[in-house]
Amino acid sequence: MSYNQNGSDSRSSYGSGRPGGKFGSSGGSGGRFGSRSGGGGGGGRFGGNSGRGGGGGSFKNKQPGGGLRKPEWDFNSLSPFAKDFYNPHPNVVSRPFNDVQHFLASKEITIKGQAPKPIQFFEEANFPDYIMSEVRKQGFDFPTAIQAQGWPIAMSGMNMVGVAKTGSGKTLAYMLPACVHINNQEPLKRGDGPIALVLAPTRELAQQIQQVARDFGSSTCVRSTCIFGGAPKGPQARDLMRGVEIVIATPGRLIDFLEQGQTNLKRCTYLVLDEADRMLDMGFEPQIRK
């Protein structure tokens, strides 16, 4: 599933799926990384250990994620989980085809693949009251282009790649469906990892994402933490051990905590790669695959 907004410069992919998919955490969003080769390094800057990343060495423990092992999932014993929470608003269902096409053109939205009709007003998203109350508090007037088309896709449990300009509201495009997804899952138990994982290429972007997660998560009882290199591990590790529903992370630091057993991705069913193209350009493909 692809979504594209013309003239834009930032690519994100997200979806909900089983752990143990292409990247070991979720079955969604694999195609973008399947066609790119190369990459390497990058681990030293974001992983928190100067000895990581870069050169290939012959020892696995010298490579980013070398200590990780792909889990052996018994799909027959995995518990089912819900991922389709979208109930189309009557106005959306009855909206004529020509009106929909006019809206897409006016917002410069192009779609590849099958997708639900876009919404045009916040009320048409059919978000729960705890989401809508926060939206009203923030003072938003209308959904942006990526929100109008992205919310119906994400709320339907479909995978997507979205391309939109910086500042176009793409963080909310995946964060609000993430909160709904989380609140429809079994509560975390002691030792569980996050339900939603957001990977970002830089600490600055990761911190911006967490601010949005904090603003909307506080009213929905969804906890989040931000983990990145260049900061002490102690406070980040304590957050992970206490249990959080959303983890926003740079790839290297996440791998460090996974290797140390301080978190896991066994409960992760909602995966976001924010600025996925930039992560590839920065050489993070090996870490993301881990």
pLDDT at 32: 38
Classify residue 75: in a domain, yes or no. Answer: no
Q: Based on the domain organization, do 65 and 193 belong to the same domain?
A: yes
* Alpha-carbon torsion, ordered 226, 192, 186, 244, to 10 deg: -20
pLDDT at 64: 58
Task: Say if residues 236 and 257 touch (Cβ distance below 8 Å).
Answer: yes
pLDDT at 217: 83
The radius of gyration of the chain from alpha carbons, rounded to an integer in Å, stands at 19
- pLDDT per residue as tens digits for the range 62-111: 565 666 666 666 666 677 788 999 999 999 999 999 999 999 999 999 99
Strand blocks (E) in 26-114: 109-112
Cβ count within 10 A of residue 176: 25
Task: Give the domain-ending residue among 119, 139, 173.
Answer: 173
Q: Which of 5-14, 99-108, 154-163 has the lowest mean pLDDT?
A: 5-14
Q: Based on the domain organization, do 65 and 196 belong to the same domain?
A: yes
- pLDDT per residue as tens digits for the range 25-76: 333 333 333 333 333 333 333 333 434 444 444 444 556 566 666 666 666 6
Q: How many domains does the chain have?
A: 2
Q: Based on the domain organization, do 130 and 193 belong to the same domain?
A: no
Rounded-to-integer distance, Cα 247 and Cα 226, Å: 6
Average pLDDT over residues 176-204: 95
3-state secondary structure 185-254: CCCCCCCCCCCEEEECCCHHHHHHHHHHHHHHHCCCCCCEEEECCCCCHHHHHHHHHHCCCEEEECHHHH
Question: Domain residues for 255?
Answer: 15-69+187-289
Classify residue 93: in a domain, yes or no. Answer: yes
Q: How many residues does the chain have?
A: 290
Q: Based on the domain organization, do 162 and 99 belong to the same domain?
A: yes
Q: What is the pLDDT of the chain when averaged over all its residues?
A: 81
Cβ count within 10 A of residue 85: 18
